[in-house]
C-alpha cells in the first residue's frame, strides 16, 4: 500500500478493521515518495467511500444470492446497467464477496490482463484499471503528527495566522471565556489548526479586580469603538440586553467586516432576523451557541446534526433558576417566596428575578430554538408566556401524588395551521426524560421525522458551561466552518415576517380550587363544567372540614383552551370558591 502511494496512485481502504492495525493510517500517509530527495510524503487523495468491488468487476460470475433475490444489482440499484471498466465507479459487492483493499493498476495486472491471484486461486487484492470518479479530496503534503502535538501546519506562516478575538463584556461569562482561551490554548490550537488569541477587551470599569490579568490585551472603554477599531477577526459580545451597547456593538462589528459570537438571547430574540440578514449580506458568521442552554450544544445539533430531519417539536427546561426553585420546593415542601430568597443568596437568581421567574428568559431562548428548528422567524410577541410565581408547595405535593413533576417548559410545535410556541408550568409524567432533570440543569427534547426523539441535557448556566459554548463557536470560526444563522439563508425562511400561530391542541389539565366545605359545592362545579362542555376525569379531596376551606383537585379530560378559560372564569365567581383557581397543563411526554 505504501509503494502504491509513493507511485502516486489513489488508495481506497476496505471495511476490514484489521487492515491498518500494524502501522496506522498516519504511518501509511508518511510513506516517502520514491523519487523524492526531501523524503516528504507523497500527495494523495483521501476520502471516505462505500463503493466496493463486485464479482463482475473481477471478471468472474457472482455467487448465488443466498436470499434468492435477483443477482448482482449495480451501484445505482435495480434496473440500472452495471458500469464497466473505464465508465465510472465499480458496482456494489454482491453478498458473499468479501470487501478488500483497492489499489491503482499494478504492473502484474497490466501484464496478465486480470487481477493478481494467490496460489490458492483467491485474489490477494483487487486492481481496477479504470480510475476512481473525480471528487473533492483532502490533500496532505506533510501529515501532522497529532500524537506528539507537533502539528507542522502551525509552522506554515500561511496556516498559522491566529484567529484574533476582541471580547466585549467582562462579567462572569466574559472572564470565564478568557480563562478557557488561556488555560486551553495549546489544545484549542491543535483542534482549530491555528491559535486563537485575544487581542482586545472592553468593559465599563477598568479598575475592577476580576481575578485575571488583563494587561496582555488592548483596553477599550467603549465596546462599539473596539468593534470598529480593534485588530480582531471576531468580536465576542457578552454585554447582554436587547438594545443599547450590545446591539450597537454587534452591528458595528458586522459593518466592520468582523464575525460575531454572542451569548445574548434577548438581542437575537428581538433583532435576530435583521442581524442574520446583515451577516449574510457581508458573508460573515453570527454564532450564538452560548445563548441557549449554556453548555448544551443544542444550536449545532439543530442546525447540523439534525439537518436531515423535519423537526416536529422542540421542548425543554431552559431556565436553571426556575428549575432550581421548583426542585427545592418539591424536596423541602417550602413555599415559593422562601425558596426564591435562597436562590438569590446562592447566586442562582438575580436581585430582580422577574426576567427568570416570569418566563421571559425561557421565551427568548424558545424563540431562537423554534426559528432554527422550523426555519421560520418567530415573533416574540406571539409566544404565550406564563411564569411560576403562582405555584405553591401544595400544587407540587398534589402533582407528586398524581405521578407528575411540575417543570417550567418552553415548547414549540409545528402544526398544519402554524407553529405554536408557549412557555408555562407543565405537569410532566415521571417517565418523561424531562422529569428527572433537577436543580440548575437544563434539558431539550426534539422530535424529528427520521431520527425520532433526541434528548440533550447539561448545565444551563454559569461561567464554565457558557464559556465552553462561546469557545466552541470560536473553534468553528478558526476552522472556517460556519452556516447560515438560522440554518438556511434568510430568503429561504418560511413565512418570513409572520407570527407564530396560537393553535394549541386539546390538552388534559389539572385544576385546583380552594372552596368552602358545605353542601352543594360539587353540584355547582359540575354544572359549570357541563355547560361549557368540559369533562372531568377524576377529583381528589383529602380532608373534610365543615364550614372551613379545603383544596379540591380536578383532572380534566382533553379540552380546548377557550371553553376551559370560560369555565375557570365562572368557577372563580362562585361564592364558595375563596381563592383564584390554579390551572396547570398536563404534558404528554
Alpha carbons 478 and 309: distance in angstroms, whole number: 28
Which residues lie below 8 Å from residue 151, measured CB to CB, with a gap of 6+? 144, 145, 189, 190, 193
- Where does 284-353 have alpha helices with state H? 298-300, 320-332, 336-345
Which residues lie below 8 Å from residue 369, measured CB to CB, with a gap of 6+? 292, 298, 302, 314, 316, 410, 412, 444
Give counts: helices (H), strands (E), the chain: 17, 20
HEC sequence for 350-396: CCCCHHHHCCHHHHHHHHHHHHHHHCCCCCHHHCEECCCCCCCHHHH
DSSP 3-state of 584: strand
DSSP assigned state of 500: P
Query: Which residue in the list 265, 278, 365, 407 is annotated as catalytic?
Result: 365
Which residues lie below 8 Å from residue 5, measured CB to CB, with a gap of 6+? 11, 28, 29, 31, 41, 42, 44
CA dihedral 359→361→362→365, nearest 10 degrees, is 150
Q: Which three cell numbers stand for residue 251?
A: 452591528
Which residues lie below 8 Å from residue 505, measured CB to CB, with a gap of 6+? 415
H/E stretch holding 469 reads helix 463-478
Q: Which three cell numbers stand for residue 461?
A: 448556566
Alpha carbons 517 and 520: distance in angstroms, whole number: 9
* Cβ(250)–Cβ(235) below 8 Å: yes
- 365 is a catalytic site residue: yes
**How far, in whole angstroms, is CA 495 from its chain's centroid?**
23
Q: Which three cell numbers stand for residue 269?
A: 430574540
* Cβ(325)–Cβ(353) below 8 Å: no
DSSP 3-state of 196: strand
Residue entry with cell 489544545: 187
DSSP 3-state of 187: helix
Which string of DSSP letters, residue by residue, matches 63-125?
PPPTT-SPS---TT-TT-----TTSSS--PPPTTPPP--EEPPPHHHHHHTS--B-TTS-BSS
Are β-strands 418-429 and 582-586 bridged in parallel, bridged antiparallel, or unpaired?
parallel
Catalytic residues: 365
Amino acid at each position: 500500500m505504501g509503494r502504491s502511494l509513493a507511485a502516486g496512485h489513489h488508495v481506497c481502504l476496505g471495511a476490514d478493521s484489521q487492515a491498518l492495525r500494524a502501522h496506522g493510517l498516519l504511518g501509511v500517509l508518511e510513506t516517502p515518495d520514491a523519487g523524492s530527495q526531501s523524503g516528504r510524503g507523497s500527495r494523495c487523495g483521501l476520502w471516505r467511500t462505500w463503493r466496493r468491488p463486485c464479482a463482475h468487476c473481477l471478471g468472474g460470475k457472482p455467487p448465488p444470492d443466498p436470499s434468492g433475490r435477483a443477482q448482482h444489482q449495480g451501484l445505482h440499484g435495480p434496473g440500472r446497467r452495471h458500469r464497466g471498466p473505464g465508465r465510472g465507479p465499480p458496482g456494489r459487492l454482491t453478498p458473499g464477496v468479501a470487501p478488500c483493499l483497492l489499489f491503482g493498476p499494478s504492473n502484474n495486472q497490466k501484464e496478465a490482463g486480470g487481477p493478481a491471484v494467490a496460489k490458492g486461486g483467491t485474489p490477494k487484492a483487487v486492481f481496477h484499471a479504470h480510475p476512481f470518479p473525480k471528487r473533492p479530496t483532502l490533500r496532505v503534503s506533510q501529515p501532522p503528527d497529532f500524537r506528539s502535538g507537533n502539528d507542522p501546519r502551525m509552522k506554515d506562516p500561511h496556516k498559522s495566522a491566529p484567529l484574533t478575538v476582541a471580547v466585549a463584556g467582562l462579567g462572569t461569562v466574559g472572564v470565564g471565556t478568557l480563562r478557557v482561551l488561556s488555560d486551553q490554548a495549546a489544545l484549542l490550537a491543535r483542534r482549530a489548526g491555528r491559535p486563537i488569541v485575544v487581542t482586545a477587551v472592553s468593559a465599563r470599569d477598568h479598575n475592577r479586580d476580576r481575578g485575571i490579568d488583563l494587561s496582555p490585551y488592548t483596553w477599550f472603554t467603549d465596546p462599539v469603538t473596539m468593534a470598529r477599531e480593534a485588530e480582531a477577526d471576531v468580536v465576542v459580545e457578552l454585554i447582554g440586553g436587547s438594545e443599547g451597547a450590545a446591539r450597537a456593538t454587534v452591528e458595528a462589528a458586522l459593518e466592520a467586516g468582523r464575525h460575531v459570537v454572542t451569548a445574548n438571547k434577548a438581542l437575537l430574540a428581538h433583532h435576530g432576523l435583521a442581524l442574520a440578514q446583515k451577516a449574510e449580506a457581508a458573508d460573515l458568521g453570527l454564532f450564538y451557541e452560548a445563548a441557549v442552554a449554556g453548555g448544551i450544544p443544542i444550536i449545532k445539533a439543530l442546525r447540523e446534526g439534525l439537518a436531515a430531519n423535519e423537526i416536529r417539536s422542540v421542548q425543554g427546561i431552559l431556565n436553571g433558576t426556575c428549575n432550581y426553585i421548583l426542585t427545592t420546593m418539591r424536596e423541602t415542601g417550602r413555599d415559593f417566596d422562601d425558596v426564591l430568597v435562597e436562590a438569590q443568596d446562592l447566586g442562582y437568581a438575580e436581585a430582580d428575578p422577574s426576567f427568570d421567574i416570569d418566563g421571559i428568559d425561557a421565551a427568548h431562548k424558545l424563540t431562537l430554538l423554534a426559528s432554527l428548528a422550523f426555519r421560520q422567524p418567530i415573533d416574540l410577541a406571539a409566544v404565550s408566556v406564563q411564569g411560576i410565581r403562582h405555584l405553591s408547595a401544595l400544587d407540587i405535593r398534589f402533582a407528586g401524588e398524581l405521578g407528575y413533576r411540575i417543570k417550567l417548559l418552553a415548547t414549540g410545535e409545528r402544526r398544519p395551521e402554524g407553529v405554536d410556541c408557549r412557555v408555562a408550568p407543565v405537569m410532566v409524567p415521571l417517565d418523561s426524560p424531562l422529569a428527572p432533570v433537577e436543580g440548575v440543569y437544563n434539558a431539550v427534547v426534539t422530535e424529528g421525522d427520521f431520527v425520532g426523539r433526541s434528548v440533550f441535557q447539561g448545565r444551563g448556566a454559569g461561567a464554565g458551561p457558557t464559556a465552553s459554548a462561546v469557545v466552541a463557536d470560536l473553534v468553528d470560526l478558526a476552522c472556517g466552518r460556519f452556516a447560515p444563522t438560522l440554518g438556511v439563508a434568510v430568503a429561504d425562511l418560511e413565512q418570513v415576517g409572520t407570527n407564530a400561530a396560537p393553535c394549541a391542541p386539546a390538552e388534559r389539565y389539572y385544576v385546583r380550587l380552594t372552596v368552602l366545605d358545605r353542601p352543594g359545592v360539587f353540584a355547582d362545579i359540575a354544572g359549570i363544567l357541563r355547560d361549557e362542555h368540559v369533562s372531568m376525569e377524576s377529583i381528589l379531596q383529602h380532608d373534610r372540614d365543615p364550614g372551613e376551606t379545603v383544596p379540591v383537585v380536578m383532572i380534566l379530560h382533553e379540552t380546548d383552551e377557550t371553553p376551559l378559560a370560560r369555565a375557570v372564569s365562572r368557577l372563580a365567581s362562585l361564592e364558595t370558591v375563596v381563592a383564584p383557581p390554579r390551572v396547570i397543563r398536563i404534558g404528554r411526554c
